[in-house]
Chain A
Amino acid sequence: MNNNIFKKLAADNIKRNNKSYIPYILSCIVTVAVFYIMKSLSLNPGLKTMIGADTISTLMYLGSIVVALFALIFLLYANSFLVKRRKKEWGVFNILGMERRHIAKTLAWEMFYVYIISLSAGLILGIALDKVMFLLIIKVIGGTITLGFFVSVQTILVTAVLFAVIFMVIYIHSLCRIHIANPIDLLRGGAVGEKEPKAKVALAVLGILLIGSGYGISIIMDKPISRAVPYLFCAVLAVIVGTYLFFAAGTIVFLKMLRKRKNYYYKLKHFISVSNLIYRMKQNAVGLANICILSTMSLVMVSSTGALIFGLDDIILTQYPNDFDVYLDETDWARREESIGCIRRLQNDRNLNVTAEVYYDYIIIPAADHGESFVPAPADAISEKEGGGNFIFVTLADYNTVMGTNKTLGTNEVLVYSNRKAFGNDTLKIFDREYYVKEDSGKPMGNGVIASDELDSYMVVVPNMEEMNQLYELQKKKLGDLAANICCFYGFDTDADETVQEEFYGALTDTFTDYEYQGTVESKADAKSEQVGMYGGFFFIGAFLGTLFLAAMVLIIYYKQISEGNDDRERFAIMQKVGMSKQEVRASIRSQVQAVFFLPLVIAGVHVSAAFPMISKLLLKLNLRNTGLYIGCTTVSFLIFATIYTIIYHLTARIYYGIVNR
């Protein structure tokens, strides 16, 4: 046979099977477009000029990898429906004398056509949407640069190659499906009486245990987040695997248990639903688990990044107590005075109106909790052990000046103020010293170290500078080269607007570099635009992936309804013949479809709630203390999500009824 025949046959096949091919090609087009957008965003030169650009392009790069993986899984899934529906057709060809390699050739041409169509349409769609997305992301991040229309040749090439590979995998997968079957099996296709799925109790129990342990880790984990990461990673994995097992085995075990309860099972309402669901679950377990996991991921992403964006002002405030914060690490007191004088001169030169000033000395001593006492150690060593934190020692005089208070301390008395949880002990033992904690609740002085360090921080107010110096000597003896210096915090506020502040910040850092002053200079305005960029990127990715997952879900659901509708039509025709009325059929269909449809949503809701302690702890480490805000964001995103989901349900359910009642 010459090649033209295969070409023609392939084209005819696509036309003839347009009912299954059109949605398939549409899914391919959307996937191509999404990948193109992700990839091109990460490469867009315009993005590089924007604030926080590095973070965003890294995130976009990671995003494009996620999308690529997802595209593969999703298109394989969509293709399996196609293969199932076309088995009969291939069986006929086979019996009519086409050899398998001829079928393989025809299929190759079909794949090629689909590839060309979806690649070109997808790229056009992607390039168009790219422009829209770009305007959107600029709006989110708050940048002001208008970006030109950008078409990346590199991205087009990468997209073409990636999807060529994906289509190859799909092609090979389809071939395997055809090859393992003999013509008779192919002919009968989906019509072969399906075996009832076995109830795999062990797997079901394992699934529930995994989900439970994942939840458990999230809820009871009390380790600092950096040490908890491996556990949390395990928790996420356990929940994902558990979810698959739950859908694949757990639901069937549960339904079979229902079936054993005779008085429940033999009721019109349950009889047909339960028995059909047992089969549906077998076919749909993976699809439903996919939907559930995708929903959970997008919900968590959107709500947590949303909370970060909306709570940004809070975060900035704790991390940057003043408009400008200078942390001086000069051991030479003369140079210290000199550097502050230098800053003041700069303020005058640039006419920066300073509205408030804060100035105090401090020393940070990280220490591990050894029960009886705290043992100083390098900060990174502490994070490996149980408990401990940063102790920031300041003098009573400085504290009273800065906070405007009038506290007093006796010998060996201290005030302990913490950023997160209260200290909780009556005494504080460190080195050979024992202090009596006079006060354990109150506001620490503003210090970015307290806010941004992931260890718990305690600000310890000691009676006088002499005490500070002794502590300094003690820790120097103990830690040697790793010992900290007594540092100086100098913060000031201004009423100048943010652009002026950012300019001043530039000048200030230049000065510090020029004179080689030891220390760190931070600007709230600068940090804010940086963080808006970063969290904006997070939020954008979250919202974008959420939308993408939703789109993928619509397609998955559409396929499910179509293929199930075709299977169920015969079943319901029989039931009508045996004496079931149209209304009863309708009611039974509704309860089944709803069960299948809303189970993933419900489980996703449970997952999100279980992730709540973990995520809020994570957000706390990012200094988002406003838990209410996070709850609000989660609730709102869940409601929006559920609404969209319900709309999709109603639309596809109508298609399903149409098929079943035909």
Chain B
Amino acid sequence: MAILEAKNIQKIYTTRFGGNRVRALSNVSFSVEQGEYVAIMGESGSGKTTLLNLLAALDRPTNGEVLLDGKNVSSIKESEISMFRRNNLGFVFQEFNLLDTFSLQDNIFLPLVLAGKKYKEMNRNLQPIARKLGITELLTKYPYEVSGGQKQRAAVARALITKPKLILADEPTGALDSRSTESLLKVFGDINREGQTILMVTHSIKAASHAGRVLFIKDGMIFHQIYRGGNSYEQMYQKISDTLTLLATGGDYNE
């Protein structure tokens, strides 16, 4: 069953003064199945971020609809949207977005505190996740005391702790060095194997090569998709790389 469905999404921005209209997404349809690990690739300006904002209910599409678990996201009332996001979605950002005033543990607790959970329950949820992400020792540290990779793992823990239906990751490896990238991708792979649905937006081929399916977006449209099937990471890397070359050199005429 599809956990996330995007049906004919269109997003048009109207510039503030002249009334110039900019089409960010022209017609995007796709769906993500329960337990899938999907990467969306595209160049800067291709509409990736717009798409992610629409999926995260941070913005509303001009046309079309986003269904999360069968529920139309656009129909949720403004007053309930924060709660909806908090209960159903987990976010991982490029810039970590951890709060300096909180220790890592408190940062991870934040969504649970917002949901009004008891400390005991929060702590019970935290321990296995922290162990899995290897940050048990770091929980009392503050964001400015740990490395980028460690920060991102704390951010992943924050996303996981609410047991969301879907994790939305926006360039999660964008600010990491190669070793941290490697270990974060391994974490993503692990949690995906445990059944967590992940949707990741990236333009790192390496990050995308770990996904089960890669969607390519260009000029506001889904252009192509690749399934991993039985491919290894290296083969997947090659395929993605080839596709990107095609995209960049105007391969749409050759196909």
Contact = CB atoms under 8 A, between A and B. Distances in A.
Interface of A: 192-196, 262-263, 265-268, 271, 275-276, 278-279, 571, 574-584
Contacts of B89: 579
B101 A584 contact: no
Given A266-B119, A581-B79, A581-B83, A193 B111 contact: no
Contacts of A278: 101
B97 A578 contact: yes
Given A194-B100, A275-B99, A276-B101, 11 more contacts: A195-B144, A263-B118, A267-B113, A267-B116, A278-B101, A577-B97, A578-B110, A579-B86, A579-B89, A579-B111, A580-B114
B101 A579 contact: no
Interface string B139-154: 0001110000000000
A interface, by DSSP: helix, strand, loop or mixed?
A: helix
Contacts of B97: 574, 577-578
25 contacts: A192-B144, A194-B144, A262-B119, A263-B118, A265-B119, A266-B117, A266-B118, A266-B119, A266-B122, A267-B113, A268-B116, A271-B113, A275-B102, A278-B101, A571-B99, A571-B100, A576-B82, A577-B93, A578-B91, A579-B85, A579-B89, A579-B111, A579-B114, A581-B82, A584-B82
B203 interface: no
Contacts of B219: none
Contacts of A276: 101
Contact of A266 (B79, B109, B143): B109
B83 to A, nearest CB: 7
Contacts of A268: 113-114, 116
Contacts of A577: 58, 91, 93, 97
Interface in B111-160: 111, 113-114, 116-119, 122, 142-144, 158
A571 B89 CA distance: 20
Contacts of A579: 82-83, 85-86, 89, 111, 114
Interface in B15-66: 58
Contacts of B98: 574
A274 to B, nearest CB: 9
A193 B144 contact: yes
A263 B142 CA distance: 21
B113 A266 contact: yes
Nearest to B144: A193
Nearest to B102: A275
**Closest 4 interchain pairs by CB?**
A193-B144, A579-B86, A581-B82, A262-B119
A470 B245 CA distance: 125
Q: Which of B86, B114, B122 has the most CB of A within 10 A?
A: B114
B106 A275 contact: yes
Contacts of B122: 266
Contacts of B102: 275
Contact of B99 (A195, A266, A574): A574
Contacts of B142: 193, 195-196
B203 to A, nearest CB: 21
A576 B83 CA distance: 11
A194 B106 CA distance: 17
B113 A275 contact: no
Contacts of A581: 79, 81-83
Nearest to A275: B101
Contacts of A279: 100-101
A271 B115 CA distance: 12
Nearest to A271: B113
A193 B148 CA distance: 13
A579 B143 CA distance: 20
A263 B119 CA distance: 6
A575 B100 CA distance: 12
Contacts of B93: 577
A262 B126 CA distance: 15
Contacts of A192: 144
Interface in B70-87: 79, 81-83, 85-86
A581 to B, nearest CB: 3
A22 B100 CA distance: 31
Contacts of A265: 119
A580 B119 contact: no
Nearest to B87: A579
A580 B100 contact: no
A577 B82 CA distance: 9
A581 B58 CA distance: 12
Contacts of A576: 82
Contacts of B83: 579, 581
Q: Which interface residue of B102, B113, B117, B158 has the most chain A CB atoms within 10 A?
A: B113
Contacts of B81: 581
Contacts of A584: 82, 114
A195 B141 CA distance: 11
A275 B158 CA distance: 18
A265 B89 CA distance: 25
A344 B117 CA distance: 92
Given A193-B100, A263-B119, A571-B99, A578 B111 contact: yes
Nearest to A193: B144
Nearest to B162: A579
A168 B201 CA distance: 54
A580 B114 CA distance: 7
A263 B118 CA distance: 7
A262 B109 CA distance: 12
A266 B111 CA distance: 11
Contacts of A266: 109, 113, 117-119, 122
A146 B116 CA distance: 69
Nearest to A276: B101
- Which of the listed residues A194, A278, A576, A578 has the most CB atoms from chain B within 10 Å of its own CB? A578
A419 to B, nearest CB: 60
A581 B144 CA distance: 26
A265 to B, nearest CB: 8
A193 B143 contact: yes
Contacts of A580: 82, 86, 114
A276 B118 CA distance: 21
A194 B122 CA distance: 27
Give the interface centre of B89, B102, B158 by most chain A CB atoms within 10 Å: B102
A580 B79 CA distance: 11
A583 B79 CA distance: 9
A204 to B, nearest CB: 20
Nearest to A571: B99
Contacts of B119: 262-263, 265-266
B73 to A, nearest CB: 14
Nearest to A583: B79
A568 to B, nearest CB: 10
Nearest to A280: B101
Contacts of B91: 577-578
Contacts of B114: 268, 578-580, 584
A319 B82 CA distance: 72
A266 B97 CA distance: 20
A194, A195, A278, A580, most chain B CB atoms within 10 A: A580
B59 to A, nearest CB: 13
A271 to B, nearest CB: 5
A353 B110 CA distance: 86
A574 B143 CA distance: 14
Nearest to A585: B82
A547 B207 CA distance: 63
Contacts of B58: 577
A556 B118 CA distance: 39
A582 to B, nearest CB: 8
- Residue in B98, B101, B109, B111 whose Cβ sees the most chain A Cβ within 10 Å: B101
Contacts of B118: 263, 266
A579 to B, nearest CB: 3
Contacts of B106: 271, 275
A575 B91 CA distance: 12
